[in-house]
Chains A and B, each alone.
Chain A
Amino acid sequence: MTVRVQEADFDIGAELDRLTEGNRRIGGLAVFVGLVREMHTRDGLHRERIDAMTLEHYPGMTERALEEIEAEAQRRWPLEATLIVHRHGRLEAGDRIVLVAVGSPHREAAFEACEFLVDWLKTKAPFWKLEETPSGEKWVEAHEGDDAAAARWAKK
């Protein structure tokens, strides 16, 4: 049950080893790793490549928001272990940006809770992406698709 926000990269293998160490009730571990992908935007007649971005966040509120999301996942599914590591600062295409791992006795809960955590953290944790393009910096706008993805976990 861990949440970390850090500038440094993370070692996926070491993180997962630590998460499951000593807990023999875990039968399945679902893992999501988000990467900064190389993107192109169309700006007038020019196609621009985005090779880097800076992730700003709200220290204090970010950790609290992630802990609340994690607690909500634990209320909804029988989970043995959860981990969210989210990076901030300047990241380049190919860099790891977020790690979400969920351990449960059974795989269904692990898969579902992992997807839930990723969907919710995108819309409920205070992070903002500033992209670097050849013509200058540009704040990323929120995607409606992310809201829709988060909304499908609303309690009926």
Chain B
Amino acid sequence: MRVRYFAWMKRTVGVPEEEVNPPANVRTVGELVEWLRSRSAGHAEALAAGAAFGAAVDQRTVTFDAPLADAREVAFFPPFTGG
């Protein structure tokens, strides 16, 4: 699946997006976050427990207990500041 990062998270992780193949026991967005943290120091910092960020699966906002199922694209981002 493709994982995308926005705003400051993109800079902290170091890439705007990446293709990943998490193991089968990674079933929810929250489990994906935990798994991604081990990829680099930047990932660990951007996706740290307690950091304020949200997620979307296939471009719909979800909570961290949402299943990944057949997700093609998962995105992580800070709170929105548009308007």
Binding site for B on A (CB under 8 A): 34, 55-58, 60-61, 64-65, 86, 97-98, 118, 121-130, 139-143, 146
* Contact call B78/A121, Cβ cutoff below 8 A: no
Contact B83 A56 (CB under 8 A): no
Separation of A143 and B4 alpha carbons in the complex (Å): 24
- CB-defined contacts of B75 to chain A, threshold 8 Å: 58, 61
**Of B4, B59, B79, the contact of A142 (CB 8 Å cutoff):** B79
In the complex, chain A residues whose CB is within 8 Å of the CB of B56: 58, 61, 126
Quick check: A64 and B82 within 8 Å, CB to CB? no
B81 close to A121 (CB less than 8 A):
no
Residues B6 and A56 in contact, CB atoms below 8 Å apart:
yes
Give B contacts to A, CB under 8 Å. Answer: 4, 6-8, 52, 56, 59-61, 75, 77-83
- A149–B77 Cα gap in the complex (Å)? 21
CB contacts between A and B, total, < 8 Å: 71
A65 to B80 alpha-carbon distance, docked (Å): 12
Q: B8 to A86, Cβ gap below 8 A?
A: no
Beyond known contacts A56-B7, A122-B83: 18 more, CB 8 A cutoff: A34-B83, A58-B4, A61-B60, A121-B82, A122-B80, A123-B79, A123-B80, A125-B82, A126-B6, A126-B77, A127-B81, A127-B83, A128-B82, A129-B82, A130-B7, A139-B7, A142-B79, A142-B81
Residues of chain B lying within 8 A (CB to CB) of residue A123: 79-80
Closest Cβ of chain A to B13, distance in Å, is 14
Chain A residues within an 8 Å CB radius of B7? 56, 128, 130, 139
Do A139 and B60 have beta carbons less than 8 Å apart? no
Closest to B82 in A: A127
Q: What A residues does B6 contact at CB under 8 A?
A: 56, 58, 126, 128
CA distance A57 to B7 in the complex (A): 9
- Interface pair B81/A58, CB less than 8 Å apart: no
Q: How far is the CA of A139 from the CA of B11 in the complex (A)?
A: 11
User: Chain A residues with Cβ under 8 A from B52's Cβ?
Assistant: 142
List of A residues within 8 angstroms of B77 by Cβ: 58, 126, 128
Residue of A57, A126, A129, A140 contacting most chain B CB atoms (<10 Å): A126
